[in-house]
Structure 1
């Protein structure tokens, strides 16, 4: 029996175009490692979006190339040797990366100490660092190691196991982690993501070595029937894979599209930023202790550039913006920062100058780091920074001998803008306008007196500064404390009992509280004012207030007494009046009766040319018209009355006071004297008083000239004009004061003040209506104007 065997190709037959050889296999091995390196490097590009400078991206690119190339070079060695070789190379690259980052960040200390500190704190510091993140050892360690390990795992799976698709898992996870860490702190990574997908697709087009014979054709050498079956199965598997991809895209596309406009989650919110102790949260309480030890050396300062301020260069220790009626606090959120701090635009019109100081710590303790406002670069110490207040801390704490250099940009506001500058309002500055409950009535009355006598914001601040400087003493042994009771005792306590004297703690805190009660956004700053370069002693510790003005910025004030000036008694310039008596019960104003429609003619009376039914028809139509007009007038009167009740009785006290003021301005408009939107409350109150006086004079038949301004001002001061109209003295001025309180100190109005405002507005409206001619009084309550005027 003869057995037939298929002919074999001749040994010397030339290889076909797909047979491949060493060169062909080498060319096929290049795209996959190149794709892996590119994908890992793109993760570095994405993560570099939140870093300052390109150093991190370059280090991650080096880690990607090094890890993959080590696996490529060792692909013919036993697999158990690859990991030790790669880890050794990783150690070398990590040490080089830490050295480059430490040099870039200008960190002091040996490389071993820097590396050990980075290994302990890398992850929390990375997630609490300020954006843009400074490439420092502790912020580059994790990304570099992660990039290397991802490259090692991906290269081994692709080169040894031949699983290209599976090898993409580490780069994909690294890329997704980079996108998650960046979160909303950088723009969308659209271009890197598109390139990432394109590179991954290009790598998949290369056949796997595991499934590719030497000829390059996966079905070469098979019988034709078997070859056709294999190709059919491959085609079916490819079609099924494409169908699965299309189905997943169709299912997931709406979900992904719905997330496009959503703000990404910021992982930084899950990590608590560096915290400080109570002495650093409220360094204001340290002023009195430093005042008792004036010769204690706290710092040593050398100013290398920049001219000193008038009276000495102010070195800021902390900015305190939060006050709860008991204590001032910094209330900062500190973020780990690098050598370069984020810059802010200076105020319009302000001049700036660069100040560079070398500061050496002596006996100063805590974590707060002194610096000239506003710091832009810190070398020699690792710092955390709060951009909202400009306060610096050293998380490890201060130590004697610590030396660091601060470069700051000091602003000098344009003094010509201050006189007419306004103060901001709204949620953005609510923190520095907040007046906690429980403020003593004497403080409120003093603030009101100073605000009423000085209308412009800067004039109010200057008046508070002058009042404190002219009436109080500075003593080093004054007890510490700036709660409401302490400030009340400082301002109004008897001189022979320890009152009316304090340290800069009480002066600054009293200014800030009085300023907020007067509608000024204020804060307290604690720092040092050395007169010359060199040692900074405890006697140089100082607290001062600052006020925020639009287009000018924060402006410091100095409420401290002038040297060699004897303070005046407080009673000379502030005599608190007794509390206002509770308002008497005022009856609700009644509506004026509507005109009674004329009686219809007697049925038997006829006239005209019409028949007997014409008079009846005409009379019925006239009566219906009069009835309709009467119903309309009653409806208008009811709507007006409901509007008044809503304004005076509904809402919180602030809304009720604003409604009472609206009743007054509507009354002026009804009387033909509308007020402009550009007038202040005090100016509207003056116009209201004059309008009432003129209306009463016109009703009495006095058409003579209007009272001159000086006489009117005298009446306003004495209250005679209001009392002549049946109102308590200064009623409209009091209502204007309540409105200013609501506008400049939201949330401080009480229900009693709202009742008082409603009573004052009701009396004024009734008095002004009574001073109108009779026919105008009849139309007062039914005029629809207040219903449609802007509220």
Structure 2
């Protein structure tokens, strides 16, 4: 049986990497199930140590006991009095087949629901089963770390660790490997002064190599490298509902202005509510390019956007849940009371399969930007949407777009100039005779002929003109807010379509080319008020100049990038690779060096070195050997090997006799005969099967003197 220290090291290496899913679920939900997995593995191993008859069943026992522990910890509501049911079995099966996919389809931190979380402790349990079995059955202790390394790789495929966290994780794995090697190396050493020496000889080089691997990983993994994640291409399936676009419904809603849509309660100022964002245009129809995810516990704002430190919140009562879209904000933070889908780029909330009225609490982020900073900000050229196809642009529209902004460079100031152009030269249609349609025929007539349109046509016209001149723009459809307070009612009369422009460091900024008044709740330092102040500070048309180009900050960026590292899986793999290389190359090299040192000894010492060399070579091939054995004793114990091994040992025995009993000591000829006999032993061992030769070459224990 292996030592307890080696078992604990393998359990830590097998279940511990599950904690690296902390960026996905948070650390708290992972600690209990992973601790149970490791604890059950230790309990079963100790039981097998006490009752040897259980050893053949060890893997099955670890698996069964571990599953029962996970059922009690995560799936207890599916049991009857703590006993698994059919529902429990189905939940475990879903944990194997579905939970990893649902997690990839979620925003992170994901909700710690068993249907999402279960795959992590299940993977850790499989890692523990394999690690314990490999430790007990393999002669190579580091092989037992491979299952844990696979689990670590899986965690890094979800989200890669960076900076100090990654360095500590890599070094921690190296420490566990060092403990494992040390524990297995001292098993054959009797208690006494020898064990600390062996432990130091194994532990210190391993830790040094592990630290070197971490530093090397930081050098080969630059901070600006794009880190791969399985999540990048996995999204939740869209709701199957096929309903009319809210953009096409605007005229009908305007004709029924008094119909209630939803109510909300909030103490925070609200400018508008959004339902859907439309960013694809084929010349006829506007459609959303939604990439939905299951909304997790909280959706943090984009790293490039500065937000106010306090979230705003509202309680929403929505009576039209048959539609997939829910009233939302541009930067939603969290939703309680529902488990909707969310499009992170647009803030769109979707509910699949709704039936009956719904209510939920919505929290959102508000950008933090000053009016003067917003006025001179650049557009975000990296925005995911806003640069789509425009179909076949009619004649004269490109010239109109350029004349509207007087060929100024794309910037937020240019977006305000285009907004002012539409406000001053076009009018909002009112009454019952409202124009309809938002394709190129209707937009061309609106821009070049009638100059009268709905908010939908103003928004669509703005977006196509903005894209022509290089501004990333899209259409949002929703409602004006009706104030702040309790049970504020939003009616059809509040329906609105507006364009949004992507601004660097701010996000998507709503504009109002139709000149429709803002919601009554838009006060203070909200984005709507900041935009209004930037609009008021816009120069007169004759004074508009190209915005200043941003200063080259590449040097600063290079300096800033040194503040953290981005090497998700590289440090760990490099550290383990360093350990493996040290093992694979170090052990054979140490034997070569040791043999040369022994051969160069003077007289009797060279003959004794030949005897020690033969003895250690045979120990590596599994021949039982102790410190008190003679050469002829060892020849008798080597009968199962090739005949030339026994012949070489008998020749070596004669040389040893001369060295021990000759008054004048062994001659150079005797030394040569002794090492020729060692060569004969080596050639005989070379005829052993290759697995035996590989194990012998990599056995670290035979680098030490036999203590027994």
Q: What TM-score, normalized to structure 1? A: 0.51
Displacement after TM superposition at 1:74 (Å): 5.0
The aligned counterpart of 1:406 is 362
Q: How far off is 1:460 after superposition?
A: 1.5
Distance, in Å, in 1 between the alignment partners of 2:159 and 2:30 is 14
Between the aligned partners of 2:243 and 2:72, the Cα distance in structure 1 is 36
Shift of the 367–191 alpha-carbon distance from structure 1 to 2, 3 Å rule, reads same
> Which position in structure 2 is the counterpart of 1:450?
404
1:302 correspondence with 2:298: no
Does residue 526 (structure 1) correspond to residue 448 (structure 2)? The answer is no
The answer on 1:546 being equivalent to 2:500 is: yes
Instruction: Return the offset for 1:188.
Output: 7.7
1:30 to 1:535, Cα distance in 2 relative to 1, 3 A: same
Instruction: Determine if contact 1:526/1:543 at 8 Å carries over to the other structure.
Output: yes
1:490 matched to 2:446? The reply is: yes
Residue of structure 1 aligned with 2:325, choices 338, 359, 368 = 368
**Aligned position for 1:334:** 292
User: For the residues of structure 1 that align with 2:516 and 2:155, how far apart are their CA atoms?
Assistant: 59
CA displacement at 1:358 relative to structure 2: 1.9
User: 1:144 Cα shift?
Assistant: 0.7
Q: Is the 2:278–2:474 Cα contact (8 Å) retained in structure 1?
A: yes
Distance 2:266 2:90 in 1: 30
Counterpart for residue 506 of structure 1: 457
**Aligned with residue 103 of structure 2, among 107, 123, 126:** 126
Following TM superposition, by how much is the alpha carbon of 1:340 offset from its aligned partner in structure 2, in angstroms? 0.8
Contact 1:492–1:500 at 8 Å: present in 2 too? yes
Paired position in structure 1 for 2:376? 421
Deviation at 1:207, TM superposition (A): 5.1
Structure 1 CA distance, aligned partners of 2:265 and 2:90?
30
Following superposition, the deviation at residue 319 of structure 1 comes to 2.7
1:364-423 deviation per Cα after TM superposition (whole angstroms, max 9, x unaligned): 4343332233211222222443333333334x44432333211113347644566x5354
Shift of 1:147: 1.0
The answer to whether the 8 Å contact 2:332/2:363 transfers is yes
The alpha carbon displacement at 1:485 in A equals 1.1
| Partner residue in 1 for 2:123 | 146
Give the C-alpha shift of residue 86 in structure 1: 4.6
Partners of 2:298 and 2:334 within 8 A in 1: yes
Q: Over residues 142-178 of structure 1, what are the superposed CA-to-partner deviations in whole Å (9 max), with x where a residue is unaligned?
A: 1111112322343355458998555444333323333
Question: In the alignment, what sits opposite 2:47?
Answer: 73
Report if aligned partners of 2:321, 2:357 keep a CA contact under 8 Å in 1. Answer: no
The Cα of 1:126 is off from its aligned counterpart by: 2.4
Question: Which runs of 5 or more residues in structure 1 are unaligned?
Answer: 1-24, 101-109, 218-244, 494-498, 564-679, 685-735, 744-791
Residue number in structure 2 paired with 1:62: 36
**CA 1:164–1:433: 2 relative to 1, 3 Å:** closer
CA distance in 2 between partners of 1:256 and 1:156 (Å): 30
- Report the CA distance shift for 1:291/1:160 in structure 2 as closer, same or farther (over 3 A): same
> CA contact under 8 A between 1:478 and 1:501: conserved in structure 2?
no
> CA distance change for structure 1 residues 545 and 480 in 2, over 3 Å: closer, same or farther?
same
Task: Report the secondary structure of 1:381's partner residue.
Answer: coil
Query: Where does residue 429 of structure 2 map in the other structure?
Result: 473
The residue aligned with 1:388 is 345
User: Quick one: structure 1 residues 31 and 132, their matched pair in 2 at CA, closer, same or farther if it must change by over 3 Å?
Assistant: same
2:386 to 429, 432, 444: 432
Give yes or no for contact 1:547–1:556 (8 Å, CA) kept in 2: yes
In 2, Cα distance between the equivalents of 1:64 and 1:352?
40
Aligned to 1:193: 170
| RMSD, matched Cα | 5.0
- From the superposition, tell whether residues 177 and 421 of structure 1 become closer, same or farther in structure 2 (CA, over 3 Å): closer
Query: Does the 8 Å contact 1:474/1:501 carry over to 2?
Result: no
Give secondary structure in 1 for the equivalent of 2:7. helix
* Superposition pairs of residues 109-124 of structure 1, within 5 angstroms: 121-124=98-101
Indicate the residue corresponding to 1:37 in structure 2: 11
Report how far residue 347 of structure 1 moved. Answer: 6.6
- The whole-number CA distance in structure 1 between the counterparts of 2:68 and 2:436 is 55
Distance 2:90 2:316 in 1: 23
SS of 1:531's partner is coil
1:461 — aligned with what? 418
Q: Distance in 2 between matches of 1:141 and 1:514?
A: 50
Match of 1:321 among 279, 287, 293: 279
How far apart in 2 are the matches of 1:508 and 1:375?
23
Q: Secondary structure at the match of 1:342?
A: coil
Residues 284 and 438, structure 2, Cα contact 8 Å, conserved in 1 = yes
Question: Any conservation in 2 of the 1:282–1:330 contact (CA below 8 Å)?
Answer: no
Deviation at 1:141, TM superposition (A): 0.7
Do the aligned partners of 2:321 and 2:358 also contact (CA within 8 Å) in 1? no
Distance across 1 between alignment mates of 2:27 and 2:269: 32
CA deviation profile, 1:544-572 (whole Å, cap 9, x unmatched): 12344567654433344669xxxxxxxxx
Runs of 5+ consecutive residues of structure 2 not aligned to the other structure:
78-86, 193-205, 518-539, 550-708
Q: Determine the C-alpha separation between the residues in 2 that align with 1:185 and 1:148.
A: 26
Give the direction of change, closer, same or farther, for the CA distance of 1:84–1:292 in structure 2 (3 Å limit).
farther
Which of residues 224, 231, 250 is equivalent to 1:268? 231
1:616-662, Cα deviation, whole Å (9 max, x unpaired) = xxxxxxxxxxxxxxxxxxxxxxxxxxxxxxxxxxxxxxxxxxxxxxx
**Taking structure 1 as reference, are residues 527 and 186 closer, same or farther at Cα in structure 2, changes over 3 Å only?**
farther
- In 2 relative to 1, CA 54–280 (structure 1 residues): closer, same or farther, beyond 3 Å? farther
Q: Do the aligned residues in 1 keep the contact of 2:239 with 2:353 (CA within 8 Å)?
A: no
Within 1, Cα distance between the matches of 2:361 and 2:348? 16
Distance 1:409 1:422, change over 3 A: closer
Displacement, 1:122? 0.5
Compared CA separation, residues 90 and 528, structure 1 to 2 (3 A)? same
